[in-house]
Chain A
Amino acid sequence: MCLRDPVYDCVSDISLLEPASPAPCRPVCRHVRALQVPVRRHQAWDHRCQLSYDAEALRRRSGSEAGRHGAYDTGLASVMKPSTASGDDIPAIKPLGVGFSWDFGRFEEAEGMLRGVAEDLTQQLKLSFTVKGSNRLSSDKATLIRPLFRASPPTRVTKTARNRSPVIKDQTKWDACLKLFVGGGLTISGDQGVMMALIYHGGIRTNHFFLNQSALFIRTSSALFRTLHASKTRINAQAESTTSTLKEASVQATTKTSLEQKILGYEAIIGIETHVQLLTLTKAFCNCPYLYGSQPNTTVCPVCMGHPGTLPVLNSKVIEFAVKLGLALNCRLSMTSKFDRKQYFYPDLPKGYQISQFDIPIAIKGFIDLDLPVEFGGGHRRFGITRVHMEEDAGKLIHSETGSYSQVDLNRAGVPLLEIVSEPDMRSGLEAAEYAAEIQRLVRYLGISNGNMQEGSLRCDVNISVRPVGQSKFGTKVEIKNMNSFSAMNRAIDYEISRQVLLHSQGQSDQIVQETRLWEEGAQKTFIMRKKEGLADYRYFPEPDLPEVVLTKDYVDKIQQVLPELPEAKRRRYEKLGLIMQDVLFLANDNHVAEFFDASIENGADAKLAANWIMGDIAAFLKNERLSINEIKLTPVELSELIASIKNGTISGKIGKEILFELLSKGGTVKSLIEEKDLVQIVDPAAIEALVDKVIAANPKQLQQYRGGKTKLQGFFAGQVMKESKGKANPLVLNKILTDKLNGGN
């Protein structure tokens, strides 16, 4: 891999950030203004959706004289609001795309200027190009514009009113304040805090019509959801996908049938955008480490805070991880890829743009294979992957309880993400949730992310539209966010499908509009968060601070060679080992479990037996102790040893279990435990015969009864012999001898 300057063409002249050791950040706290934004939160979010302004509308507007004195056209009204009257008849306008207040005169100027400049270019190049849908600047217009170029004196700012909100300049006070708002009792964790605030707000703005509709669905399925909710409450994140799947099985099955009835005659089209946070030591473009849950604004530096003069330097691990994922998703890699700036204003975005990839993502056109759970009828699915691209994460906003201001935590700003965009191939909540689960499996297998949904390391935004079966045109797309588990995804999507189908079937499909909705766990329904006003114009352009990334075949081949066996390949291999699908899915679900299993069978353990031990007693132990399989003292070698010892008759199955628990909790080897506790099975018929004789001799009364026809007493004798042998007698040999003795000997 090398880097190439797209303009100046210097190849491999450029360095990458060394990812080895995160340097301790220079204390920059004194430069962090309390990072507190005095905003009403809804305005903040309104802003986010509106900040891309509609260039076309702007152009129309600036061209129309009438527009100068009020009466905006629709496109413009959505992006501009008149500020307080200035006494002038021309209202002051805030073009949000530019980020400062300005009046229309200047827009004309800027546009005229630009057009003049472009005219110049055109004429000189003897080329003709026209700006889409606009007329060339006439000479009249040019003279009109000229006088406007009267530069006003530099804006002298006299006095600005003191900030009314409490801006805390002192670091200790800031910490205390954070504790107050974030730490003390009130548990706002990560995205949840923000999301909760949003939901709250979303609820207020929800259209009555939707409220009624949702109520309807809640009634039909609330019982199911409640059960599910209860079962979900204390599942820890790591075990989330393993344990909950089975538990929820029945619930989901029921949901599925009820859903199927509801959407009869309709088809849902689902596509998913997944953000995966990468497990790099340092952030994507600076040397800061990222640790989930750190005190706000402690893992920041001038670079990730967007200070003047700072520049991004790419962390080479990001490329490596992106290539890994691209290969794992069977994608075509772009051997030359570049970064672009995606521009919008928001307080959690320090630079005013996000470094992302626009037209040349690192990987495109792949697919992912997965097996649906057996409980839902099973089946194999292949979903298309449209693209995978690299980008940086934004910070987080923490909204104050009172809602009068919000605080910005930039710890997460600059953390590397891979965004995976799927083809709209999913048709149900289950498929979507399984797709997401497979992505989680994949990134964990690859070791590029912890894939933890609760911490926001894996975030899914789902696009859903519904159309009557047979119709080729897609329905209106609705986006859902804020699902922090797979089951939530499943439920949110099924809920949303039902909502849309109902609107369709009632002839109210026009009520389905392009919008973003949030899933609320408490209410078990989706709420409107914001309406989308046309297409956002993020004004992408190539990031001039970063060279292009040029991959070499060698580099890709090397990564390909060290790629681990992926979940799909594992499942197919396990199937060939003769395991049933349920076992296959269980074992391949968690890469650590799969590794453990693989290591066991490599040491000669019988696959079926190893699977049984792992899925049975070991899984139960893990669940009880809340451990993951790589945290226990039992090694795969010992498990295979244990299995072998039972198989060859050295110990009995019963003793095997005892030894297993010993190994799980205390460690050690099977051999030493057997020796230490003298647990070797007695298989010598003579020895067993002696024991049998002894027991028979000691129980003449029972012998008499047995011989009198009460043959059930054989069990009693067997038990006695076992007791005598301290459980070590081989049951088969024992029974054979015992039967002989009881029946034969006089």
Chain B
Amino acid sequence: MPSLIQSPRFLLSHCLSPLPPNARSGFCGRLFHRSSAAAAALSSDAQTISSNQSSSYAPLLAPPSSEILSMRESLLSRRRTAAEIAEEYLDRLRRTEPQIRSFLHVSETVMREAEEVDRLVETGAELGPLAGVLIGVKDNICTVDMPSTGGSRILEGYRPAFDATAVRRLKEAGAIVIGKTNLDEFGMGSTTEGSGFQVTANPWDVSRVPGGSSGGSAAAVSARQCAVSLGSDTGGSVRQPASFCGVVGLKPTYGRISRFGLMSYASSLDVIGCFGSSIIDAAIILNAVAGHDRFDATSSMHEVPDYASCLISIDQFDSKPLKGLRIGMITETMGDGVEMGVVSSIKAAALHLEELGAVLTEVSLPSFSLGLPAYYILASSEASSNLSRYDGVRYGKQVAADELISLYGDSRADGFGPEAKMRILMGTYALSAGYYEAYYKRAQQVRTLVRKSFKDALEKNDILISPAAPSPAFRIGEKVNDPLAMYAGDIMTVNVNLAGVPALVVPCGFVEGGIAGLPVGLQMIGTSFSEEKLLRVGHIFEQTLQNHRFVPPLLG
């Protein structure tokens, strides 16, 4: 399958040392020499997996490799300029955007910033680890001098005075923000249909949703409109679209990445996450943005390991690289209500992990089904409070009125979409006197149960696996009339947010649908601050997964 992004990919066999100076030595060499011997050793495993799959396209394909590292290599070897690479992305963006509509705003300064990177290359100055990397930023993450609307009409045209800490750190590492990606209003939704501005389409089948709420970020990476992107995950908003769009999605531990600059939806659940077309890219982004921030009291001081350097190159694998790893498959996520195709993809993936040496068991999380109602109560409660600041007084939409009540009422009635209003109402109820004990308090108790059940399960297992969503991408408009069904779709992901633990979604297979099948993601869940382990396992999984190429046909 010819791909637009071939050129950087093929460069990987040359491994110079394109790494940032901060001690990642050795990592590149181990990573990028794909040993044919190792591949041969694994080929029998691969056969087993592919036999489970219905998809017949995609013959033996190279595993995904890092867009970031290949770009860096191109720059340092002077093979290509940052401007050329940026131009290529922008071209692709312009070509695909009319169908995908993943961006709410595209930066006008991309070329200028890329040229700046080239000047640095010329002078031989030290390049940041993300020099020239084009990154999409979910529109609920603040960027200075660029609109940041949170997907809401109430913030139409609002330009923040500051960069979110995550964005600032990316920029400091040399990244270029290519634009702001679409989302369900303030992150409330699972399809991106809840955006106040536009509906984003899934690059695998433009009649389908990309998932949500970070649908724009996932679709943009999937369609290679940008190399990597930032999203946010409150109840699955990174993982579900990653699964729908066939990209890697990482939801880190709560507090791992500063929320400063992320428009709060549910403060105790919100996490900034990242998308990439490979695990390495996700790891490099996490490296850049993770860590304590004095502007966010809930950000953790937990040490930040070098996530990228712990990834093992495929030629270093023996035949059982996951030997002894205890993997628990969550029983509750594989039963009723989960599409057969999804179940068989996950089972195949589990089998693949087993082939790699992992010990697979089934785990039951008794509180699993409680998570959904508890999540909706907590998230709505916090949302009802967090959205109070959008009153039309200081910024954002203001509807002219003679009296204060109408100023508030009309500005908010005009500005918020139906989903936001619904959740504000629900949350307002849940926090009201006489209701608080029954709803909010009870939900907090459930949350404790959920945390405990995850803790117990993760003591017996190193990681837990489940689907990231009960179905592959569904059609645009299919579920808008059935919000409860939509909410139910979050069952796979919300518990992880309630527990605050990290989870990684890796594309693992396809089910029928669209012209080339629809991707399915495998969710891997670990203990708090175990991103390193998740990425390592995800990387081995990704490198050894044969016969799948997660590049949407749109780019073919």
Interface residues of A (CB under 8 A from B): 3, 5, 7-8, 10, 12-18, 26-28, 30-33, 35, 37-40, 43-44, 47, 55-56, 58, 81, 83, 94-102, 106-107, 109-111, 113-114, 116-118, 120-121, 124-125, 129-133, 149-152, 154-157, 160-165, 302, 305-314, 341, 343, 345, 347, 350-353, 408, 535, 537, 539-541, 544-547
Between-chain CB contacts (< 8 Å), 13 pairs: A5-B298, A8-B254, A30-B161, A38-B402, A56-B433, A81-B405, A98-B428, A101-B412, A151-B480, A154-B185, A157-B153, A352-B385, A352-B388
Contact across chains for B404 and A541 when beta carbons are under 8 A apart: no
Stretch at the interface among B205-213, B373-381, B460-468: B373-381
Given A8-B254, A40-B403, residue A118 in contact with residue B438 (CB < 8 A): yes
CB within 8 A of B161: which of A26, A40, A110?
A26
| Nearest CB of B to A42, in Å | 9
Q: Which B247-272 residues have C-beta < 8 A from chain A?
A: 254-255, 259-264, 266-268
| Nearest CB of A to B45, in Å | 38
Contact across chains for A305 and B394 when beta carbons are under 8 A apart: yes
Given A98-B425, A150-B481, residue A17 in contact with residue B294 (CB < 8 A): yes
- Check B79 for interface membership: any CB of A closer than 8 A: no
A150 to B418, CA, bound (A): 10
A98 to B161, CA, bound (A): 28
Given A37-B407, A309-B261, A343-B385, residue A120 in contact with residue B528 (CB < 8 A): no
A167: nearest residue on chain B (CB-CB)? Answer: B398
Contact across chains for B405 and A94 when beta carbons are under 8 A apart: yes
Contact across chains for A40 and B402 when beta carbons are under 8 A apart: yes
Contact across chains for B403 and A39 when beta carbons are under 8 A apart: yes
A570 to B439, CA, bound (A): 52
CB within 8 A of A309: which of B142, B402, B405, B433?
B142
Contact across chains for A13 and B300 when beta carbons are under 8 A apart: yes
Q: CB-defined interface of B361-401 with A at 8 Å, one 1/0 digit per residue? A: 00000000110111011001110110111110111011111
3 closest Cβ pairs, A-B complex: A352-B388, A100-B412, A110-B425
Contact across chains for B394 and A33 when beta carbons are under 8 A apart: yes
Q: CB-defined interface of B339-378 with A at 8 Å, one 1/0 digit per residue? A: 0000000000000000000000000000001101110110
- Check B296 for interface membership: any CB of A closer than 8 A: yes
Contact across chains for B389 and A547 when beta carbons are under 8 A apart: no
Contact across chains for B425 and A163 when beta carbons are under 8 A apart: no
A272 to B389, CA, bound (A): 31
Which chain B positions have C-beta within 8 A of A43? 403-405
Q: CB-defined interface of B114-143 with A at 8 Å, one 1/0 digit per residue? A: 000000000000000000000000001110
- Check B195 for interface membership: any CB of A closer than 8 A: yes
CB within 8 A of B297: which of A110, A150, A545?
A545
A306 to B155, CA, bound (A): 13
Contact across chains for B500 and A8 when beta carbons are under 8 A apart: yes
- Check B301 for interface membership: any CB of A closer than 8 A: yes
A157 to B400, CA, bound (A): 13
In the complex, besides A8-B255, A535-B433, A539-B433, 4 extra interface pairs with C-beta distance below 8 angstroms are: A38-B401, A124-B369, A132-B434, A151-B419
Given A114-B430, A121-B373, A160-B400, residue A101 in contact with residue B194 (CB < 8 A): no
- Check B489 for interface membership: any CB of A closer than 8 A: no
CB within 8 A of A106: which of B400, B402, B425, B438?
B425
| Nearest CB of B to A144, in Å | 14
A351 to B436, CA, bound (A): 21
Interface residues of B (CB under 8 A from A): 140-142, 148, 150, 153, 155, 158-162, 164, 185, 194-196, 254-255, 259-264, 266-268, 292, 294-302, 369-370, 372-374, 376-377, 380-382, 384-385, 387-391, 393-395, 397-419, 421-422, 424-426, 428-440, 442-443, 446-447, 480-484, 500, 528
Which chain A positions have C-beta within 8 A of B401? 38
Contact across chains for B442 and A129 when beta carbons are under 8 A apart: yes
A118 to B446, CA, bound (A): 11
| Nearest CB of A to B262, in Å | 6
| Nearest CB of A to B496, in Å | 13
B388: nearest residue on chain A (CB-CB)? Answer: A352
A56 to B432, CA, bound (A): 9
A129 to B439, CA, bound (A): 10
A156 to B415, CA, bound (A): 8
CB within 8 A of B429: which of A27, A96, A111, A161?
A111
A359 to B369, CA, bound (A): 31
Contact across chains for B432 and A55 when beta carbons are under 8 A apart: yes
Contact across chains for A545 and B264 when beta carbons are under 8 A apart: yes
A12 to B292, CA, bound (A): 12
Contact across chains for B481 and A149 when beta carbons are under 8 A apart: yes
A544 to B434, CA, bound (A): 21
A56 to B407, CA, bound (A): 26
Which chain A positions have C-beta within 8 A of B424? 98-100
Given A33-B394, A546-B297, residue A118 in contact with residue B254 (CB < 8 A): no
A78 to B147, CA, bound (A): 39
Which chain A positions have C-beta within 8 A of B161? 26-28, 30-31, 302, 307
Contact across chains for B398 and A309 when beta carbons are under 8 A apart: no
Which chain A positions have C-beta within 8 A of B185? 154
Contact across chains for B434 and A56 when beta carbons are under 8 A apart: yes
Contact across chains for A121 and B435 when beta carbons are under 8 A apart: no
A118 to B268, CA, bound (A): 20
Contact across chains for A154 and B194 when beta carbons are under 8 A apart: yes
A14 to B160, CA, bound (A): 26
A14 to B292, CA, bound (A): 8
B387: nearest residue on chain A (CB-CB)? Answer: A352
Contact across chains for B418 and A541 when beta carbons are under 8 A apart: no
Given A120-B373, A545-B267, residue A109 in contact with residue B297 (CB < 8 A): no
Contact across chains for B298 and A309 when beta carbons are under 8 A apart: no
A26: nearest residue on chain B (CB-CB)? Answer: B161
CB within 8 A of A155: which of B140, B267, B388, B418?
B418
Which chain B positions have C-beta within 8 A of A44? 403-404
Given A98-B424, A308-B263, residue A121 in contact with residue B374 (CB < 8 A): yes
Which chain B positions have C-beta within 8 A of A311? 259-260, 264, 295-298
Which chain A positions have C-beta within 8 A of B434? 55-56, 131-133
Which chain A positions have C-beta within 8 A of B398? 33, 163
Which chain A positions have C-beta within 8 A of B294? 15, 17-18, 313
| Nearest CB of A to B125, in Å | 28
A487 to B213, CA, bound (A): 59
A280 to B155, CA, bound (A): 34
Contact across chains for B421 and A102 when beta carbons are under 8 A apart: yes
| Nearest CB of A to B268, in Å | 4
Which chain A positions have C-beta within 8 A of B412? 99-101
Which chain B positions have C-beta within 8 A of A100? 408-409, 411-413, 416, 421, 424
Which chain B positions have C-beta within 8 A of A97? 428, 432
Contact across chains for B377 and A117 when beta carbons are under 8 A apart: yes
Which chain A positions have C-beta within 8 A of B402? 38-40, 164
Which chain B positions have C-beta within 8 A of A13? 255, 300-302
Contact across chains for A83 and B406 when beta carbons are under 8 A apart: yes
CB within 8 A of A541: which of B381, B397, B411, B500?
B381
A312: nearest residue on chain B (CB-CB)? Answer: B297
A101 to B407, CA, bound (A): 10
Which chain A positions have C-beta within 8 A of B254? 7-8
Which chain A positions have C-beta within 8 A of B393? 33, 35, 37, 347, 350, 408
Contact across chains for A101 and B409 when beta carbons are under 8 A apart: yes
Contact across chains for A83 and B409 when beta carbons are under 8 A apart: yes
B266: nearest residue on chain A (CB-CB)? Answer: A544
Contact across chains for B155 and A302 when beta carbons are under 8 A apart: no
B156: nearest residue on chain A (CB-CB)? Answer: A157
Which chain B positions have C-beta within 8 A of A107? 425
A352 to B338, CA, bound (A): 41
A155 to B415, CA, bound (A): 7
Which chain A positions have C-beta within 8 A of B421? 100, 102, 106
CB within 8 A of B394: which of A35, A99, A116, A156?
A35
| Nearest CB of A to B533, in Å | 19
Contact across chains for B194 and A39 when beta carbons are under 8 A apart: no
Which chain B positions have C-beta within 8 A of A155? 153, 196, 413-418
Which chain B positions have C-beta within 8 A of A111? 425, 429
